[in-house]
């Protein structure tokens, strides 16, 4: 086995990371790379042609070097300027784009959240600036979209989970002392979170109470997902009526074990998403060629839930890449 190249570190397959610091630094080494990324993401996928609002058609844009801090691309036909940072959280900021991108990376890669004091120390800015940057990243990039998910034939995956950690043995003992036996996941009173993920990018999740009530789950699903969507759930019997209502095309993930539910991908995705196996609706478990999360479906439209998630649920379920995509305000 050849020795690893220390100048080109590669993310280990066993790593829980979905997007390492090395990958981030390689992709966004300086302000120029960040600005070009914004330009391509927001206006011009090919980096050259973009829609000119003044000409009202697609035009070729060129970058002219100026001494201005606010860099822009210029329409070669009419001279209209497009500023990639206009209308985003980066507009009129005195901090470099690399700082903003790094804060987004920190927020999206941390499991426990980031303190403004840490940002202050890492960026060398004052506390007020650090707080403001964090506040804008959290409140403006992480807002949940209340629009319903799916649509005719659009695959949406849904599941619920108990939030609050496993029941510890000491807690079991305390419950047994009170005469409360083992009731499975409901043994310990914990809030139940229901989430639905649209393959393609959006997620909706909310706390639905302190117990897993099947009717509540189905009602929440109907609230989150448009009729005629293709809904994927696990094999919990609470979702059985979905098959007969005719509101959705209902498909099931046959889970090899209780610990690998869709919720594992939605709310605890870091390890699950980089698992070495992929689940199929037919109940087979096939080896995954890459470490990516790609639950497949019978219609062949499988896509990774985590890879398509744009909202941060907890921990590092959102790659920095996706957080940066959300910057398109
Ligand atoms: Zn123009």
pLDDT, tens only, 246-271: 888 888 876 544 334 444 444 433 33
- Residue 101 C-alpha to ligand 1 middle, in angstroms? 30
**Phi, psi torsion values for 71, nearest 5 degrees:** -80, 145
- Residue 52 C-alpha to ligand 1 middle, in angstroms? 5
Give the 3-state secondary structure of residue 249: strand
Residue 103 has pLDDT above 50, yes or no: yes
Q: Please give the pLDDT value at position 96.
A: 93
Mean pLDDT of 38-52: 93
Percent share of the chain, pLDDT over 90: 29
Residue 298 has pLDDT above 80, yes or no: no
- Residue 40 C-alpha to ligand 1 middle, in angstroms? 17
| Cα torsion angle, 315, 321, 326, 329, sign | positive
Q: Please give the pLDDT value at position 200.
A: 66
Task: Give 162 or 79, the one with higher predicted confidence.
Answer: 79
Residue 123 has pLDDT above 90, yes or no: yes
pLDDT, tens only, 65-74: 877 767 899 9
Give the range among 33-47, 89-103, 199-213, 283-297 with minimum mean pLDDT: 283-297
Distances (CA, A) of 66 to 3, 72, 73, 117: 46, 9, 11, 35
Give, to the nearest 10 degrees, the angle between helix 116-123 and helix 97-109.
Answer: 140
Give the 3-state secondary structure of residue 234: coil
Task: Give 272 or 30, the one with higher predicted confidence.
Answer: 30
Most confident of 39-48, 163-172, 271-280, 318-327: 39-48
Residues 24, 26, 30, 33, Cα dihedral to 10°:
-90
**Residue 299: closest CA among 151, 196, 150, 153:** 153
**Phi, psi torsion values for 320, nearest 5 degrees:** -60, -35
Residue 3 has pLDDT above 60, yes or no: yes
- Residue 44 C-alpha to ligand 1 middle, in angstroms? 14
**Phi, psi torsion values for 237, nearest 5 degrees:** -65, -20
Sheet (strand 203-209) strand order: 203-209, 192-198, 155-162, 230-233, 249-252
Distances (CA, A) of 87 to 39, 90, 311, 327: 13, 8, 20, 10
- Residue 55 C-alpha to ligand 1 middle, in angstroms? 4
Residue 155 has pLDDT above 70, yes or no: yes
pLDDT, tens only, 182-212: 777 777 778 888 989 888 678 888 888 887 8
- Residue 75 C-alpha to ligand 1 middle, in angstroms? 5
- Residue 61 C-alpha to ligand 1 middle, in angstroms? 8
Q: Please give the pLDDT value at position 90.
A: 92
- Give 265's Cβ-side CA count (13 Å radius): 33
Using the CB atoms, write b or e for 126-140: b if 16+ within 10 Å. eeebbbbbbebbeee
CATH 1.10.3470 fits 155-164+190-311, yes or no: no
- Residue 112 C-alpha to ligand 1 middle, in angstroms? 46
**Which residues have a beta carbon within 5 Å of ligand 1, which is an ion?**
52, 54-55, 59, 75, 77-78, 80
- Residue 324 C-alpha to ligand 1 middle, in angstroms? 28
Q: Which two tokens stand for residue 324?
A: 């940066």
Q: Please give the pLDDT value at position 35.
A: 94
- Residue 37 C-alpha to ligand 1 middle, in angstroms? 21
- Residue 79 C-alpha to ligand 1 middle, in angstroms? 6
Residue 137 has pLDDT above 70, yes or no: yes
- Residue 57 C-alpha to ligand 1 middle, in angstroms? 8
Q: Please give the pLDDT value at position 1.
A: 67
- Residue 329 C-alpha to ligand 1 middle, in angstroms? 23
Give the range among 226-235, 252-261, 310-319 with minimum mean pLDDT: 310-319
- Residue 78 C-alpha to ligand 1 middle, in angstroms? 4
């Amino acid at each position: 086995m050849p020795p690893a190249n220390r100048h080109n570190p590669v993310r280990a397959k066993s790593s829980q990371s979905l997007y390492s610091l090395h990958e981030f630094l390689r992709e966004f080494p300086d302000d120029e790379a960040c600005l070009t990324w914004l330009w391509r993401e927001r206006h011009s996928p090919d980096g050259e042609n973009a829609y000119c609002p003044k000409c009202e058609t697609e035009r070729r844009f060129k970058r002219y070097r100026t001494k201005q801090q606010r860099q822009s691309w210029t329409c070669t036909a009419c001279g209209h300027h497009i500023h990639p940072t206009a209308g985003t959280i980066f507009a009129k900021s005195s901090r470099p784009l690399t700082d903003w991108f790094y804060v987004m990376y920190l927020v999206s890669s941390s499991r426990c959240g980031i303190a403004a004091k840490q940002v202050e120390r890492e960026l060398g800015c004052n506390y007020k600036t650090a707080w403001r940057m964090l506040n804008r990243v959290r409140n403006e990039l992480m807002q949940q979209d209340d629009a319903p998910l799916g649509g005719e034939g659009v695959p949406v995956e849904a599941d619920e989970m108990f939030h609050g950690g496993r029941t510890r043995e000491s807690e079991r003992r305390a419950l047994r002392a009170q005469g409360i036996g083992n009731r499975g996941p409901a043994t310990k009173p914990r809030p139940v979170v229901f989430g639905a993920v649209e393959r393609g990018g959006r997620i909706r999740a909310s706390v639905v109470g302190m117990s897993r009530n099947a009717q509540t789950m189905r009602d929440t699903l109907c609230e989150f997902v448009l009729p005629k969507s293709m809904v994927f759930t696990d094999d919990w019997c609470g979702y059985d009526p979905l098959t007969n209502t005719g509101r959705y095309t209902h498909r099931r993930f046959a889970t090899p074990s209780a610990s690998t539910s869709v919720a594992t991908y939605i709310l605890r995705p870091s390890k699950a998403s980089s698992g070495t196996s992929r689940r199929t609706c037919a109940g087979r478990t096939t080896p995954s060629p890459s470490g990516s999360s790609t639950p497949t479906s019978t219609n062949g439209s499988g896509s990774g839930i985590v890879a398509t998630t744009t909202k941060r649920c907890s921990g590092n379920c959102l790659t920095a890449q996706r957080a940066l995509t959300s910057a398109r305000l």
